[in-house]
Amino acid sequence: MASIFPKDFFWGAATSSHQIEGGNTNNWSKWEKKTAEERVKHIPNWYEFPKHLLDEAKDPERRISGKAADSLHRWRDDIKVLKELGLNSYRFSIEWSRIFPQKGIVSEEGLEYYRNLINELKQNHIEPIVTCWHWTIPIWVDEGEGGFLNKKTDVCFREYMKVVAENFAKDVKYWIILNEPESIASKSYLLGDWPPGKRNIFSAAYFYYFRMVEWHRIGYEEIKRVHPEAWVGVAKPNVYIEPYNQHIWNVGIAKLGHFLFGQLYLKRIHKYLDYIGLNYYFHMRVGIRGIKNENDKVSDFGWWMKPFSIYYLLMDLKKYNLPIMITEDGLADSKDQYREWWLDETFEAMRRALQEGVRLIGYMHWSLVDNFEWAEGFWPKFGLVEVDPKTFARRIRKSGYYYRDLIAKERGK
Ligand code: NOJ
């Protein structure tokens, strides 16, 4: 039977600069060093933590990004595995601190790195899908300009976006200005788990509702100024939230959660979007007694795995009448035991959504290679491709080849 996926569908994988490049100096790298010793003490105890990952999880060195996957030097190897996997698109991000290492100073070397990456991808017929901000800020912005919450940062962000747009906008059609504003608002300002480690509901709300909206708008304007036909989107981490029973309170809580995390931000930036990027990881059952997930299958991270639920989120986003790209989707699976099943379920969900009229244009699996997973460091393994921590050699996992074959089948090859 003919495939329901459009001929020009983007089959890809995603990464972000700080998580794979290595050699970064930014607000995260500074915070990582300061907090590594403390963080290793907190091994999750609410699920059976995978024993074979304990040594890595307890090692403070493995909580520091350091050389990450060394993509700064091995980006050609990344392109090689993209090709081996038969992918026609790659989502990566530009590192602000690599472009602007200091106030007012643009690094030609930084620009050159992304220029080479974009050119080489295009020469290999791989569509670059570029994120402008995946959570890290230069230290000079953090310290000198008052950090995230300060309006002065908007000026710095515009300066950065101008340089990005002027150097790359003509060569790239698909842009994502911000990655998961809700994650950073909640982890950095509400829960205090990430830098700057604040716990203040008002700061979180302000950051989310105002600063993140303004940054998106700035990015949109700068890209469009240089390349009006470019498509600008956002990577939105929507969660499938349902009440654990039909009690009116539980239904209300689920609706509120869906509105706050799934809808509010999109409503705010709707006018400045050419497509919606969806990052999917979670299905949650909520109510007055908090979260009550079934957890019949959990990933190494302890996250309940319900891959098919992405279908419901795609259907829900249909109302915006915009094309949708899945900009992230994946799991931490060090033994590579669930990824094939996850992909099967997800492909089925995408087929159903396409059949029901969702304008789905691409799927980026998270992640191409094992990445530095923020506060957790290196123990969660999200990669289709395994990275040797010492040699940085890339080895495609069995599920990586499985993904390649699934795609080939859809393409009728
Ligand atoms: C979403 C984030 O964008 C990415 O940075 C992270 O690694 C994945 N989720 C997995 O947690």
Cis peptide before 196 (omega within 30 of 0): yes
Distance CA 179, CA 134 (A): 5
Q: Which pLDDT does position 323 carry in this prediction?
A: 98
pLDDT for res 147: 81
Average pLDDT, the chain: 97
ω before 367 within 30° of 0 (cis)? yes
* Over residues 240-259, mean pLDDT: 97
- What's the rounded mean pLDDT across residues 37-55? 96
Per-residue pLDDT of 124-163, as tens digits, reads: 999 999 999 999 999 999 998 878 888 999 999 999 999 9
Within 8 A by CB and 6+ apart from 33, the residues are: 64
Q: Which of 322, 344, 410, 403 minimizes the C-alpha distance to 4? A: 410
Q: What percent of the chain has pLDDT over 70?
A: 100
**Atom of ligand 1 lying closest to residue 374 CA:** 7
Closest ligand 1 atom to Cα of 135: 5
Residues with CB under 6 A from ligand 1: 16, 19, 179-180, 279, 328, 366, 371, 373, 382
Percentage, residues of the chain above pLDDT 90 = 97
Write out pLDDT tens, residues 302-345.
Answer: 999 999 999 999 999 999 999 999 999 999 999 999 999 999 99
The answer to whether residue 412 scores a pLDDT higher than 80 is yes
Q: From ligand 1's centre to the CA of 249, what distance in Å?
A: 31
Q: Which atom of ligand 1 is nearest to the CA of 279?
A: 1
CA of 183 to the centre of ligand 1 (A): 9
**CA of residue 225 to ligand 1 center, whole Å:** 30
Element (H, E) at 386: strand 385-387
pLDDT of residue 324: 98
Q: Is the pLDDT of residue 351 over 80?
A: yes
The tokens describing 298, both together, are: 């959990």
Q: Report how far residue 407's alpha carbon sits from residue 367's, in angstroms, rounded to the nearest whole number.
A: 16
Instruction: Provide the sign of the torsion angle of the four alpha carbons 310, 311, 315, 316, taken in this order.
Output: negative
Counting other chains too, the contacts that 309-313 makes at CB distance below 8 Å and 24 or more residues apart are 309/240, 309/280, 309/283, 309/349, 310/240, 310/278, 310/280, 310/346, 310/349, 310/350, 311/349, 311/350, 311/352, 311/353, 312/240, 313/238, 313/240, 313/262, 313/278, 313/280
Sheet-wide strand order for 283-287: 240-243, 283-287, 290-291
Q: 134 C-alpha to center of ligand 1: Å?
A: 9
- Name the residue at shortest CA distance from atom 7 of ligand 1: 373
Question: Which residue in the block uniquely carries the two structure tokens 């690094």?
Answer: 107
> What is the 209 CA–ligand 1 centroid distance (Å)?
21
Span from the CA of 211 to the centroid of ligand 1 (angstroms): 21
pLDDT class of 118 with cuts at 50, 70, 90: very high
Summarize the chain as % helix, strand, coil (round to 5). 45, 15, 35
* Mutate which of 374, 376, 378, 379 for ligand 1 pocket (most atoms within 8 A of beta carbon): 374
CA of 54 relative to ligand 1 center, distance in Å: 21
Which atom of ligand 1 lies nearest, measured to the CA of 373? 7
For atom 6 of ligand 1, the residue with the nearest CA is 373
d(CA 46, CA 148): 32
